[in-house]
Amino acid sequence: MTDAIKVVRKAAWVVAWDEEASRHVYRQDADVAFSTAGILSIGPDYAGPADEEIAGQSLMVMPGLVNVHCHSGDEPIAKGLFEDAGTAALWGNALYEYSALIDADQDAKAACQTVMLGDLMRSGVTTHLDIASPYPQWLPLAAESGLRAYLAPGFREAQWRMAGSHRLDFDWDEARGRERYAEALAFVEEARAHPSGRIDGVVAPSQIETCSEELLRMAVGEARSRGLRITIHAAQTMAEHEELLRRTGETAPAMLERLGVLGPDLILGHCIFLDHHSWTRQRSRDDLARLAGSGTSVAHCPVTFARSGMTLESLGAYRRAGVNVGLGTDSYPFNMLEEMREALICSRVAGRSVFDLDTGGLLSAATTGGARALGRSDIGRLAVGAKADLSLVDLSHPAMQPVHDPLRNLIHCAAERAIRDVYVDGHAVVKDRRIVRLDYDGAVRELRDAQKRACRRAERDDPQGRPLAVLAPPSLPLAR
Ligand SMILES: [Zn+2]
């Protein structure tokens, strides 16, 4: 590793941070100098030392994207199975009856993670928060990839169990949950001690409804005493919303407020079904104010949910209410730019207005929104002194032409096809669209067998004993 100074000369466009206005602005024909020490200079005619010059005439330099919610463990092998499935009695959600049946075995975990990391970085992500059950390669691979990583080992006391295709039940095992909690804390300490300086740990009670109130309180207290971030899936499905109403009469934010859990160090995963959401039919309108007033962040991952016919109402409305929202990719396809496009479209559909959210607001969510959720002002922005986490966007790509506004072209048309190089801490992790430090192609090959093994286990473990042809029928009938 060198700390060579790289200079993008005369970049056609730079998405730079305006400290005074506290927002991203465009700069044109600017030099951007950076090294492992961070961003050294943004402006005309950089005259300092330079070890590598990059011609910028057909480039946009933009801040690395911050993904505050993804899952490496199993999701890459769930692809193609359940996109047309859902449990009708659970509001069409596929999570409990279908997705929960697919598990990557230990042999496949590293391949799953490699594919996720590769897809994320090729779509301009430089920081990610990965929620998973720990496996041996998790931390070493995250470090090897070169990405900035927040690793969040999930723990819970209850497992989901489906009764037929109509009811979600919970199998509680408190002792096992507490063991997993202790293991998670140990893992988090190991992660934050990693010498790369790019890895941290996050305390992650998996779901609000699978942890007891006592465990939620205890875990959050422990995280706060250690100065760690916290993430919890909450208000992610109608089944969870109805379960919380049955148990406590509260929505997820109301319950977390009562437990003293809300706060600026907390990221709530998904946070869709709040009291104002049209599906929950509540009489109150307090949840957005609970989140905004406490400084709690939301990790918004539109693709997975929109695939099941549901969405947050709406990203623009959350932002106007003062809620800090970051973006995540949750499950596959781990394409942050496609996720951003869908976030914008869902916001406008749910908000019933083209004015619900604009492209600049969307970029803020995907950069500084995520950074704020992680408590950082040195990522998600291009400013002197910030980390050198950035992407070089190829403006000469046909999907980027003609260029009136490069961010709009990138988000509405080109997506990851226009991302040429990605740097984290001044080091290239994607160079000429190739993943630099991981065997991505090898991992893709491994996923084929891993998915077959996972499908065999799904058939074996399905409580209703359904074969794969019934669980995940092909989207078209097979010709005879
Ligand atoms: Zn999730």
295-338 pLDDT per residue, tens: 999 999 999 999 999 999 999 999 999 999 999 999 999 999 99
CA of 456 to the centre of ligand 1 (A): 24
**Which residues have their alpha-adjacent CB atom under 5 A from ion ligand 1?**
269, 330
Q: Could you tell me if 182 and 198 are in contact, meaning their C-beta atoms sit under 8 angstroms apart?
A: no
CA of 420 to the centre of ligand 1 (A): 28
Question: What pLDDT was estimated at residue 289?
Answer: 98
CA of 69 to the centre of ligand 1 (A): 6
Q: Could you tell me which of 304, 270, 269 has the C-alpha nearest to residue 92?
A: 304
CA of 330 to the centre of ligand 1 (A): 5
Question: What pLDDT was estimated at residue 73?
Answer: 86
Q: Tell me the domains of the chain and their CATH numbers.
A: 6-61+391-433 (2.30.40.10), 65-373 (3.20.20.140)
CA of 299 to the centre of ligand 1 (A): 9
CA of 297 to the centre of ligand 1 (A): 15
CA of 183 to the centre of ligand 1 (A): 20
Cβ neighbours of residue 296 closer than 8 Å, sequence gap 6 or more: 253, 256, 262, 263, 264, 266, 267, 268, 290, 323, 324
Question: What pLDDT was estimated at residue 1?
Answer: 47
CA of 170 to the centre of ligand 1 (A): 18
Question: What pLDDT was estimated at residue 113?
Answer: 97
pLDDT one digit per residue (tens) for the chain, 480 residues? 458 999 999 999 999 999 999 999 999 999 999 999 999 999 999 999 999 999 999 999 999 999 999 999 888 899 999 999 999 999 999 999 999 999 999 999 999 999 999 999 999 999 999 999 999 999 999 999 999 999 999 999 999 999 999 999 999 999 999 999 999 999 999 999 999 999 999 999 999 999 999 999 999 999 999 999 999 999 999 999 999 999 999 999 999 999 999 999 999 999 999 999 999 999 999 999 999 999 999 999 999 999 999 999 999 999 999 999 999 999 999 999 999 999 999 999 999 999 999 999 999 999 999 999 999 999 999 999 999 999 999 999 999 999 999 999 999 999 999 999 999 999 999 999 999 999 999 999 999 999 999 999 999 999 999 999 999 999 999 998
CA of 223 to the centre of ligand 1 (A): 20
CA of 269 to the centre of ligand 1 (A): 6
Q: Is the pTM of this model over 0.85?
A: yes
